[in-house]
Structure 1
């Protein structure tokens, strides 16, 4: 397995300089900040990522104000009291992307968030407390207890709201396969654990977040789009 410095130096070389690479990296929120989030934000982001899956993200983003109007700003409390026939009405509203199966995930994920909050004080606290050295365990929890949150959907939602996680993007997957760290299916328990072990090792070597580390891996392979000008 490559050492952190090998990966870092390759990314520096591809991006032109250490300054340019560092400008591309980002870090997650602190656990304390995540714990302060309103739980409704999680339902909103889960829903956004569910709808973005299989669609152009720009289409969903352009309609997002309509989604927020139709679904009461993703209020978990209000959505849990919504009768089934009202859900059908909302699913046909022209202000949103009318996909009833995806709309059904909204009350289902609202219920998951509510159930977790009952046990842990808030869903945000639950997310904040989850150890990142087993982030794939959180992915598995969302897949099992949520609706349509498997694959990359759950991880991308976590990343969007600041939870430290690596992502199995195409570039990261290509790296893991090229270095024979995974084989077979990407979402098998064996592959997921191998990816977790790899990023845990890099984190121990570097002190970087999982988020920054997966970005570094991706910047070292695939298309080399720099996109940052030196000032």
Structure 2
């Protein structure tokens, strides 16, 4: 496994030099623990709907989603009744996918449950980056439709420190001998986490930055 500086140099060489590459990197939001729970629900919902759909279609309709789901108020959506669900299925302002619409209710209920542990900001935003795969497992088991890439994108788009196992990131991890195929098993994900933790210790960079550098290196 190469030193992170070597991987950064490969990526920088392909993207205009170190300064230009640094300028491309999105960093985690230092105020992520203060993100309101309605914004967590909003980003979760957007990533759930992005999965399997054209992202530009979802983006074009997003104002309609915000209106339809009351600004993603967690309490209102957690208690969505069947009549409201049926109304959403008739609403042309949103993408009318029944299973994904129901996930809004389920994830609102999930976020309400997190209040007992200090709230979404504390639990999701404050989860240790050194155990990011533990957070992903929790999202998969307790959230709705938040497994695999959807949970990873939701955490990145919310602004928390997060890696995304995209095709390019996976290719770099394979090239470095961390994994030999896309990481889906717990064993493979532990190997990925260990590699990211190692590179973080070498570089002082976040998971988000390391993930992007790996992608840019391919």
What is the TM-score with the length of structure 2 in the denominator?
0.96
Q: 1:50 to 1:202 in 2, by over 3 A?
A: same
Please tell me whether the aligned partners of residues 170 and 182 of structure 2 are also in contact (alpha carbons under 8 angstroms): no
Superimposed CA distance per residue, residues 95-142 of structure 1 (whole angstroms, 9 cap, x where no aligned partner)? 10011011110100000000011x122211112321000001000000
In structure 2, the partner of 1:94 is 92
Superimposed CA distance per residue, residues 70-118 of structure 1 (whole angstroms, 9 cap, x where no aligned partner)? 111111111123212221221221110011011110100000000011x
In structure 2, the partner of 1:5 is 5
Structure 1: gaps of 5 or more residues: 222-231
Q: Whole-Å Cα distance in 2 between the matches of residues 141 and 162 of structure 1?
A: 18
In structure 2, the partner of 1:51 is 49
Pairing 1:190–2:187 present: yes
In structure 2, the partner of 1:81 is 79
In structure 1, the partner of 2:132 is 135
In structure 2, the partner of 1:22 is 22
Q: Whole-Å Cα distance in 1 between the matches of residues 2 and 211 of structure 2?
A: 14
Q: Whole-Å Cα distance in 2 between the matches of residues 59 and 129 of structure 1?
A: 32
In structure 1, the partner of 2:174 is 177
Report SS of the residue matched to 2:148.
Answer: coil
What is the TM-score with the length of structure 1 in the denominator?
0.91
2:110 to 105, 109, 112: 112
What is the deviation of 1:205? 0.4
In structure 1, the partner of 2:210 is 213
What is the deviation of 1:186? 2.0
Please tell me whether the aligned partners of residues 170 and 181 of structure 2 are also in contact (alpha carbons under 8 angstroms): no
Large movers: runs of 4+ above 4 Å: none
In structure 1, the partner of 2:69 is 71
Superimposed CA distance per residue, residues 125-174 of structure 1 (whole angstroms, 9 cap, x where no aligned partner)? 11232100000100000000001000110111111111101110110011
In structure 1, the partner of 2:120 is 123
Report SS of the residue matched to 1:182.
Answer: coil
Please tell me whether the aligned partners of residues 47 and 154 of structure 2 are also in contact (alpha carbons under 8 angstroms): yes
Q: Whole-Å Cα distance in 2 between the matches of residues 4 and 58 of structure 1?
A: 34
Report SS of the residue matched to 2:172.
Answer: helix
Structure 2: gaps of 5 or more residues: none
RMSD in angstroms over aligned alpha carbons? 1.1
